Every structure is written in C-alpha cells, then in structure tokens.
C-alpha cells in the first residue's frame, strides 16, 4: 500500500525542537495494572491544579526541586483532564492518561529514577483540556494532578501538585478552532508557532514571571463550598483515581524525505475542507539533518504539505 500524510500549516516553522525519548529503552518504565488490580487508589497528597482562568484549554506547568542524593526509587503518578505530555529534566517521556470518564479517572505510574540528578530537577507538563462532552458523555473539568514519591535509604519524600507549581496559558494555542466530531478527541488545531515558548520544559528555563497554580475545589453539591474547605485529589468530579489498566502508547519518531507537494491554499476549517488532491505536483528532496523552513504564508492562506511515506506495509497508530 502507499501511505500519504497531509499537513496543513498556517504558521512559520522557524526551528525544530528535538527531545530524546527514553521510553523505548526501558531506562524509564511505566506501570499498568490488570483488571483485578485496577482498584481506586487513596494514597494521594497531591491537589488538582489549573490556571486562574479556566476558559483557556492549554496549560504549561512546571515544578523544580533540588535533590542532595539520588533516590533509590522515584515513582510519578499522574492523571490530567483531558490529555497531558510529560517532560522530566527536558526529556519528553509520554502522553496520557488512558481515556476514561472523570468519576473513574485513570492515572499513569512512571518510574523515573534514571532521569533524576543531584541538584536541580524539573517536572514539566503540558495539559490540553478538551472542552465539551466526548463519546463517554460525561462533563469534566480542566485539571492536572501529579505526585512524585521518592524513596531514600533512610526516609521518604513527596513532591506533588499544589500552589507552588508554576503555570502559564500556552500563547501559541488558538482555542477558536471548531471540533471535528463529538465522538472523537480529534480537533482542528490552530497553533501559531511564532508564539511558542521555546524550551519551556527544560530544567533551567526561567519561569519566575509565570503564575502560581490555582487549586481546584469542589464546586457542586451540598453543603456549599466553604472558604476553609481543602482541595484534594478526590475533588469532584474525580471521585475515584484508578491505576492505568492498558499498556502504554509506544511512540516512534519517523523521518521521511519524500515531500511531494507544498503549496499555499485558502485557510481552511477542516470540517469545511474540500477533498485534497494527492496528485504530486513536484518532488522536494529533504535533508533530515537540515531544518525545513517555510516562509510565512500570504494573508488568508495556509501551507499544505503532502508527504509520501513510501512503505509497502506498516502500522499507523493514531493517538486518541
């Protein structure tokens, strides 16, 4: 078979960011439970956090901490609504969690000891809250929950989401894009890479001007929320936190040099696009080690890029 990928870009691609993915090397390990083991976990000190303004669906978050010694074990537990991407000390690890309803929220468990170092360490998480009801028909709330359990020879320590985390709305994200289908998480994303915060996930990135995270409190039910109520891991609607019950997604970088079409088209909404012709108009030889740079499209235009992967057979895994 012949596999064709089509990309529509309405931004300037000025640089590429490459982060080593250690997930496939087994130096970083993910834990998932069998159906019998996937029971609610009550061992949480973390608090759900978000931006101060909930209407922004894309949050960047960071937590830096200092270690005098490397722990014997470092287990990170993390769920988010609706989807997260996790970085530790600048290394991209994975995306998650497994799809779930908020009252039965799935969380991931990752052993990250090999990534930690003496001195400053940083956990960075990008969270995309996908608004509206999805195929499971339950309303949710934007939020991130994370807890790092550290085991040393003589003591234990916990680093978890609270108001000490630094957060910022992703300025490159345009939330006006219409959803494609309410039964899927796929959306017609609009991203302006000129507004991208370069290296925000790195260990020594300066986040001094970022805001402190806001805690998420119960906002429904009786009695009404009181000022002295505490925010916690089982704040509504996340009344049960369940260990991940399916294997982790394996991601593989795939470099192709076969760009067979590059042209500017009228800026589209995906749900209104006409079928795209895949007939090649040109073939552009790309050098994988050299950044591919596009000039800014004309006003009202977007770049359409057509790649030919030239494989007789392969698996294509589309991430939910």
Q: Please provide the distance, in angstroms rounded to a whole number, between the alpha carbons at the two ends of the chain.
A: 24
User: In the prediction, which pLDDT does 45 show?
Assistant: 96
CA distance 149 to 129: 26
- Residue 82 Cα to chain centre, angstroms: 9
User: In the prediction, which pLDDT does 227 show?
Assistant: 65
Let me know how many helices (H) and strands (E) the chain has, helices first. 0, 22
User: In the prediction, which pLDDT does 28 show?
Assistant: 80
User: In the prediction, which pLDDT does 19 show?
Assistant: 32
Bond prior to 82 in cis (omega within 30° of 0): yes
CA distance 54 to 163: 16
Q: Which residues of the chain have pLDDT under 70?
A: 1-27, 132-138, 178-188, 221-228, 255-257, 267-289, 310-320
CB 155, CB 134: distance < 8 Å: no
Classify domain 22-243 at the CATH topology level: Jelly Rolls (2.60.120)
90: left (phi over 0), alpha (psi -120 to 50) or beta: left
User: In the prediction, which pLDDT does 184 show?
Assistant: 56
Q: Which residue, among 293, 263, 303, has the nearest Cα to 279 in the 3D structure?
A: 263
User: In the prediction, which pLDDT does 238 show?
Assistant: 93
User: In the prediction, which pLDDT does 36 show?
Assistant: 81
User: In the prediction, which pLDDT does 281 show?
Assistant: 56
Residue 290 is given by DSSP the state: S
Name the residue ranges covered by the structural domains of the chain: 1-17+253-320, 22-243
Bond prior to 56 in cis (omega within 30° of 0): no
């Amino acid at each position: 078979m012949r596999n064709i990928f089509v990309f529509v870009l309405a931004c300037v691609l000025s640089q590429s960011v490459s982060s080593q993915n250690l997930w496939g090397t087994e130096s970083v390990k993910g834990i998932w439970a069998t159906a019998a083991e996937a029971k609610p976990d009550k061992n949480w000190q973390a608090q759900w956090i978000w931006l101060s303004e909930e209407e922004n669906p894309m949050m960047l978050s960071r937590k830096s901490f200092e270690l005098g010694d490397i722990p014997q074990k470092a287990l990170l537990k993390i769920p988010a609504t609706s989807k997260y991407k996790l970085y530790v000390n600048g290394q991209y690890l994975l995306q998650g969690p497994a799809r779930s309803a908020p009252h039965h929220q799935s969380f991931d468990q990752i052993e990250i000891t090999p990534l930690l170092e003496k001195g400053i360490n940083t956990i960075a998480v990008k969270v995309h809250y996908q608004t509206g009801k999805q195929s499971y028909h339950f309303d949710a709330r934007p939020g991130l929950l994370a807890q790092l359990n550290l085991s040393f020879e003589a003591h234990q320590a916990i680093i978890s989401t609270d108001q000490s985390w630094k957060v910022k709305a992703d300025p490159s994200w345009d939330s006006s894009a219409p959803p494609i289908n309410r039964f899927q998480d796929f959306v017609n994303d609009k991203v302006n890479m000129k507004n991208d915060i370069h290296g925000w996930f790195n260990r020594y990135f300066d986040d001094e001007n970022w805001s402190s995270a806001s805690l998420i409190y119960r906002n429904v039910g009786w009695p009404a929320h009181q000022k002295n109520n505490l925010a916690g891991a089982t704040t509504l609607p996340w009344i049960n936190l369940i260990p991940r019950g399916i294997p982790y997604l394996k991601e593989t970088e795939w470099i192709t040099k076969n760009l067979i079409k590059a042209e500017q088209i009228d800026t589209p909404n995906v749900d209104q696009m006409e079928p795209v012709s895949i007939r090649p108009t040109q073939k552009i030889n790309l050098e994988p080690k050299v950044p591919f740079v596009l000039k800014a499209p004309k006003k009202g235009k977007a770049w359409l890029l057509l790649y030919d992967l030239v494989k007789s057979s392969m698996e294509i895994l589309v991430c939910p």
